Structures are given as C-alpha cells and as structure tokens.
Amino acid sequence: MVLVDNYVVNTSTDSFDFIIVGAGSAGCVVASRLSEQPDCRVLLLEAGPPADNFWIRTPAGMAKMFKSERYNWRFHTEPVPTLGNRKLYWPRGKALGGSSAINGMVYCRGNRDDYDLWARLGNSGWSWDEVLPYFKRSENNMRGATPYHGGEGPLVVSDPVVKHPSITDFVEAARRTGIPQIDDFTGVEQEGTGILQANIRNGMRQSAYDAFIAPVRHRPNLVVRTGVHVRRVLFKDKEATGVEVLENGQVLAYQARQEVVMSAGALASPQLLMLSGIGDGEALQRHGIQTVMHTPGVGRNLQDHFTARLQALCTPESSYNADLNGWRKYMQGLRYILTKSGYLALSSSQAAAFVKSGPEIDFADLEISFRPMTFTYKDTGVVEVDNYHAIGASVYRVRPASRGEIQLRSADPLQAPAFIPNYLEAAEDVEAMLSGLRILRSILATDPMASRIVKELVPGPSVTTDEQLIDFMRREGHCAYHPAGSCKMGNDAMAVVDERLRVRGVRRLRVVDASIMPTVTSGNTNAPTIMIGEKGADMIRADTLKTSTFAA
C-alpha cells in the first residue's frame, strides 16, 4: 500500500472479464445479460447505496426521491442565459437502478422514426426494425405479447391500476380537437392521444435493478458492489485494462480481462471519459489530465427535454389532490399497503398526446402529458400535493434543436462537472413550445374537459400573446429530466463511439447508456436506455464471447 493524493492505494489484482460502471437503466441490463454466460465473470459498480427503501418501491414515493440526499445526486445546471440565468435542478438517481429508481416510471419507446434517423446518420444496426427485437426481449407487457411487444421479458409494463375519470376525459377532449385516439404509443404509430403505460409491477415500482439484477443476484459469476465511486478508466497503450475506484476510503484498481463498459449515464459517462484522458485534449490539459485520445465530442451534443407546465382549478371530482391531503391521505396509504392499489400506485402521468407543432413537421415533435393532480416544489426540497382541487399538464418538444455540453470543473472525480443545457437556444424550439401550449389549452377548452375546468392558474388567463408565453417559459419552464447524447454514436468528427458502442481511438472500452444517442428519442428516455443496454450487451457478447441473441 502507498499514499497517493491523500488516499491509501491498494494495488489489488482482483480481475473480471467485464467491469460495468454504473448500475442504472443500461448498466443493470448489460450486467444481467453478460452474466448469463456462466464462465464470464462480471463486476457491476454503483456509487450509490442499495435501493432498499419503502418510498422507492412505492410509485408515489418519487416525490420523496426528488431531492433525497441519499438516493439523488441533486445536480444543478450552470446559469442558463436563455432562461434569465436561472440554474435548473437536475435530479439523477444515486442507487442500484440509477435514475430508474427515482423516475416517473412512464414507459415510452419514442418514435420508430427516431431509430431510422440514427441509421441514416451512419449507425448501421440501429433502425427501428433492428432495435424492436431488443425492446421486445426486455418487456413483459401485461397486455400480452404482440408483434410489437414482449410478454416474457424481465421488465413489467402495465396499465394504470386506477383510471381517474379526468384521464379518459382528457383523451376524449384531445380526440375532439382532431388528435386521433390510439391504444398503443409504442407500436406502429405514435402520433395521437391515449393512456400511458408504466414500469410498475403489482403496484410497486420496477426499476432496472428490480427487473434485471435482483432475480439473478445469486449468480456466482456476478459481483455487485455499492458505494464505489469510479475515479477513472486505466489504460495501457490506449487499451482499457480496468478502473481505479474510491471504495471505503481506499483507492483500488480492478482489472478487466475483456472490456470496461461505461454505463454511468449521460451526465457521468462523459465526465469519467474526460477524467480518464478521453476528450478535448486542450481542455484536459488545463486540468492536468494527460490525453489518452483527443476526442472533442465528449460532453458535446447534450440534449434534454425542456418543459412548460400548466395548472388549472377544477371541480372537486376532477382531481385527486384532496385524496392525498388531510385524513384522506392516510386512507390512501392504508389502501396502498393492503392492496398495492390506489393513487399511490400510479406513475407521474397516466395520459398523453403526441402531436405535431405544425403541418411541416414529419412526425410528432411534441408530448403533452396530463395528470389529475398538482404539486408544489418547496424550497426545503419537499414536494407537496396542493391542497386545492386542480389538474396539471405539461408540454415539451421531444426532438429539440438546441444543444448543450458538459465540461469538467476540475480533475477531482468527486466534483460534479458543469452542465450547460442551452435550453431554448434554437428559435425553432421556442416556436414549437408556443404551438404546444396553444394545443394544450385547446384540449382543456374542449368538452368533456372544459366542463371540469374552473380557471387556469398557470400561466393564467391573462397570458395570451406569444411574447407573454415566451416570457412565462423563460421564467417558469423546467426540464423533463431526460439528458442524452453527450457521448454520441456516429462516424463524424464529433462522434465518441461507433455503431457498436466502442469508444473511438481506444480498445476494450465501450459506452452503453443514453449518452450514445445521436438524437434524443421522442419521449421519456428510460425504455430506450434499457433497449440500448440490451443491444449493447448483445454486441459485446458477439464481439468478445462469440455469442449473441440476435444476428449481429
């Protein structure tokens, strides 16, 4: 043992075939699939703790996870010039399951054209027809197996256990405005309005850890370690040999005989690559980091969904706010404990409409989500259900033109990097959002929803002009917590990984998570990230173990 940077360094020779960094939505899938090979030893590392908490398992507990010190990294962006220099809060999961342990649980694959675009950008093997088998393999849809859905996978996808009347009325009102009603957002056609499905099993959240790791944790060739903060990837002659970690106050080195797989997410994976010497060489030198590979695209191409929220007072029977306040909330709690049903067993949104912002748009570029309840973020970090009868809805452009980046603040792996999202930087994003707010208002002004609405609270009936709505978005808009694209897949000068998710210019290192998306998918990003884990694992098996589930 020696002392380096005030840490005790243990030159451990403990080695594995594969080391997966990050037990989130993709990392859990990769570890599970690779460890199906009995002679393949897999190490899954997670900086956060086990996700053994009642409120993590309870779907409504997402409110308590929103600013949890134990289970959430609680990041903030840099001041955003286009939003009046506001710093936006960016929650990220810090536990087994990653952000799938704290998210809204909505299951949405995006649009089939998202993946066909990836293929057209030069990423062979990523078209809709080629990724669909991986979506199906992961899925156990409670509606049963179909040509577009799996019925035997580990990840449960279910309908809401309670369908509040306002949910069906929202769908009907949207239909009456000319939006087609559809039964399945993840099949042939996404554009339309309908009920959202969620990753909820028997009334309980099903994170990626619950689905893919917990059932196979007993495998002798699968090692899962929590509380392990990876400091950097180790290289020898541009070949990844393992990782250096901070664990129990010691710096340890774990060796990888085959590959290191970076699945730390769209915020942490680019940071770890840069700390390891892969990034813009000039920027790395400013932090005293030796350049292993000059890859200027690391941290660039950052995309996220920017959202504007609407709230309206409604008739008492049109909201379940009252059921989650006062003595009624205890009745709901008892109902949940006894039956795993009721309003505590619901995802963040139960209905949505995917629409085009204008006739010139090729396919739906807006998501409007609806919920028959409202809540307020307190300065203390608590999320409280409002004590008045109200409904809430939100709109965001699912394929934003604006691009941000992630930059290192220092060479200290425990210090968060700088997140620069550049929301609404592109004028077309602003125009699309204006269209979305007007479409949302049109739905709420149409019966049967119109008869439920008493008065719009936010942004309010006096906010009507484009200038007023833009000002509202800049003052009050938030993000939908879907960062992606910061280690993009491709073959241009800014690409970080190739179509097989191998980091360009080095060997035995891949990135398998939402950061590889060339363009963010059209909707919630958890299901696509799980698909990336499935496909990434299959490519790793084909390239290194000479086995795969589907043709490579």
Which two tokens mark 390? 């109200």
* Per-residue pLDDT at 163 exceeds 60: yes
Amino acid 3: pLDDT: 39
pTM: 0.96
482 is catalytic: yes
Per the annotation, does 199 bind a ligand?
no
Average pLDDT, the chain: 95
Mean pLDDT within 532-539: 98
Most confident of 8-12, 14-18, 152-156, 384-388: 152-156
For residue 228, the cross-strand partners are 247
The beta strand positions in 289-389, using DSSP E, are 293-294, 306-314, 351-355, 366-371, 375-377, 383-385
* Per-residue pLDDT at 485 exceeds 80: yes
Amino acid 6: pLDDT: 42
Per the annotation, does 261 bind a ligand?
no
**Cα gap 5→251, rounded to integer Å:** 10
Question: H/E element holding 118?
Answer: helix 112-120
Mean pLDDT within 375-396: 87
322-376 per-position pLDDT tens digit? 999 999 999 999 999 999 999 999 999 999 999 999 999 999 999 999 999 998 8
Amino acid 364: pLDDT: 96
For residue 140, the cross-strand partners are 151, 156
Amino acid 107: pLDDT: 97
* Per-residue pLDDT at 552 exceeds 70: no
Mean pLDDT within 90-101: 97
Per the annotation, does 157 bind a ligand?
no
Per the annotation, does 8 bind a ligand?
no
Q: CB-hemisphere CA count at 13 Å for 129?
A: 2
* Per-residue pLDDT at 5 exceeds 50: no
Q: Which of 11-25, 143-157, 267-281 is the least confident region?
A: 11-25
409-447 per-position pLDDT tens digit? 999 999 999 999 999 999 999 999 999 999 999 999 999
**Cα gap 112→127, rounded to integer Å:** 8
- For residues 30 and 20, the answer to whether their CB atoms sit within 8 Å is yes
Per the annotation, does 103 bind a ligand?
yes
Residues in the chain: 552
493-520 per-position pLDDT tens digit? 999 999 999 999 999 999 999 999 999 9
Give the position of tokens 């179909």.
146
For residue 81, what are the contacts with CB-CB under 8 A and spacing of at least 6?
A: none
- Domains of the chain and CATH, by start: 5-85+97-545 (3.50.50.60)
Q: Which of 164, 305, 478, 482 is catalytic?
A: 482
